[in-house]
Amino acid sequence: MNTSDLKSPLSSQLDELESLLAKQVRLAQQGNLHGHEIEALSRQAAGLVDQIAANGTLGSPELEQKRGRLASLYGELCISLRVQMAEVQTDVSRIRKGLKALRTYRNSV
């Protein structure tokens, strides 16, 4: 018998949540924020969190066992997204400066 067949529904949900968070972290670290993949993964993760909360299993030993790993992945995701946001803001700032220089040049000609 497969050991995954012996897992409780909560354990399976927690494993899936961990997997979704890890995929989001990987995509964010690769700078792959275009498209809808991270957004779709985020929706799936939110749905799982809602299911776990609705099941009334928030204090369960299984959740407590995984809490540290999930919190770590969530923290990594937040940091990766902040880094990406900072890079985008830097790029936007450069573009604005370039546009300002072009306008100044155009007005002086």
Q: Is the confidence at residue 81, as pLDDT, over 90?
A: no
Q: Is the confidence at residue 88, as pLDDT, over 70?
A: yes
| Side chain identity at residue 6, one-letter code | L
When pLDDT is averaged across residues 92-96 and rounded to a whole number, the result is: 95
The reply to whether 1 falls in a domain is no
The reply to whether 2 falls in a domain is no
The reply to whether 4 falls in a domain is no
When pLDDT is averaged across residues 60-88 and rounded to a whole number, the result is: 90
The reply to whether 3 falls in a domain is no
Q: Is the confidence at residue 1, as pLDDT, over 80?
A: no
Q: What does the pLDDT look like over 26-61, one tens digit per residue? A: 998 888 777 688 889 999 999 999 988 888 777 788
Domain count for the chain: 1
Q: Which residue, among 49, 39, 43, has the nearest Cα to 17 in the 3D structure?
A: 49
The reply to whether 42 falls in a domain is yes
Per-residue burial over 37-57, b = 16 or more CB atoms within 10 Å of its CB, e = otherwise: ebeebeebbeebeeebeeeeb
Residue ranges making up the domain that contains 81:
9-108
